[in-house]
Chains A and B, each alone.
Chain A
Amino acid sequence: MKTVKKIAALLGAAALSISLLAGCGKKAEEKVETAKSNIDLSGIKFISDGVLSVGCEVGYPPFEDFAEDGKTAIGYDIDIITEVARRLGLKVNIINTAWDGIFAGIDNNYDVVCSACTITPERKESMLFSDPYISNYQAVILKKGNNKKITSFKDLNGMTVAVQKETTSDELLSDYKSTGTISLEIVANEKVLSCFTQLDNGEVDAVCVDSTVADGYLAKNGDKYIYAYKDETEPEFFGIVMGLNNTALQKAVNEVLAEMEKDGFIKETLDYWFGL
């Protein structure tokens, strides 16, 4: 499992560097000036003309979430995909859907999925990914006042740790446990919020979660939790997902993402949502 993750990380890193290189090239500079006219959308069939329909599990802050009015979708992913659509000269329609079966809806209910989707080799066999638009690490969060030093996942030995079910955090810690590297209790929850509530209530000693999600939580609740550890050796990347035959759309989205990377839109949006 770990080698698979490493390959994924390498592939992702390669893709990111290519996108960065593309952004630095002279060709790209010309593209910025004539942004909208240069990208050819004629060969792409959209579910509804002139609209980019986006599948998204709205309910994973700070990536996607409903604002207080219960209708407006907000979040990092929403900002990114809205800007992608704007630069392609399309309107955007966010379609809220459950995470289970989200990829089955591509080309049926929506054109793309932008919902904090990690790029993995397994997924790449059945769908297309754009270049990554954010990188993510695994992080460990403790309750404020707990001064335990954590310098690697091995320091979690003997602790009870909450994770979100079927996420990379879950897989990672289960690997440590099943191989007998360390002994720990893993509590798998459906929602990230449940993990943090368990930490609050003293049910668990630590939470292991995506660093991006942890950043979002700590920005709002810095007085309750502390960032104990971030594993920077194994990054993973999030991409926008398209149907396997939609290479034309993939190309267009990648061009726009490179452009957004170059003119600082992505950096600014990262700052805004994660307070990095």
Chain B
Amino acid sequence: MIITARNPDMPAIPAELFTPETADSLEMERISREHHSAAYDGWIRLRKNKGALVCLDVLALLTLFALIAPIISPYTYYQTDYMAKLKPPSAAHWLGTDLFGRDLWTRMWYGTRISLLIGLCAAAINIFIGVLYGAISALMGGVVDAVMQRTIEVLVGVPSLILVILFMMALPPGIWTIILALSVTGWVQMARLVRAQILRMKGMEFVLAARLLGTGTWTMIRRHLIPNTVGVIIIQVMFAIPSAIFTEAFLSFIGIGLAEPQASLGVLINNGYSVLRSSPYMLVYPAVTIVLLMVCFSIVGDGLRDAFDPRMKG
């Protein structure tokens, strides 16, 4: 056999290098790129998303102010001072005062606190009902699932905000009424997502494999279904909170949400709007705050979705 090298002008190589060497297994492993769990990869992806991290910080900061600012302020959110009506920002009143001489700085952070509270509670209730409903529907299957799905199809047809408004009219005004009203239809989307996710997983091979290995139903739920559904739930929470905050603001703005002297971002925007011609800054503070909240929640939500569930689309 004649062997010729096509490019013989190789650098001088020491002859002793032409001796056998066993491939070592450690090196083989080193060469392939490291492998991580999906959750870890997701976390890495989220950490790369600078926008989402900044927004997370802003949210933390806003929450901190909402919790602390009303406490350390010398004023209360309902304390009126008719000698100091509609004052522009000053050393005594950092953001000025409203039509009744109430301190806007205090009211703004108190209002933010209420809005956040409403958002969190409404989201929590929606998640609770939605997850329960979706999980029962998906896990029971059969007739139960059919009935529950038909019910959902009926509810999906309801324009939810109209229903919320009707509930607001029928019940005594207050924070809990708003939360309750927001929970009337808010859970439907959650229920559908959870059901779809569980059904998808039920059909997946690893669940089948676990079944074949004799894993019990509860172990299955705890080990496989819950960890794999948490992502969907968290992402949905990040969208449910701003949506609740927005709805509250909307209700208060058209005059059927919270009543004076209660403060929420919606009430403050409504107040600000009523004196828009003379003191436009009164609208600006709560408007900026609500926009910040909404933007941050939505960017964090998008970031979470991109990081943990790239298949979902907005």
Partners in one complex: no
Interface residues of chain B, those whose CB is within 8 Å of chain A, are none
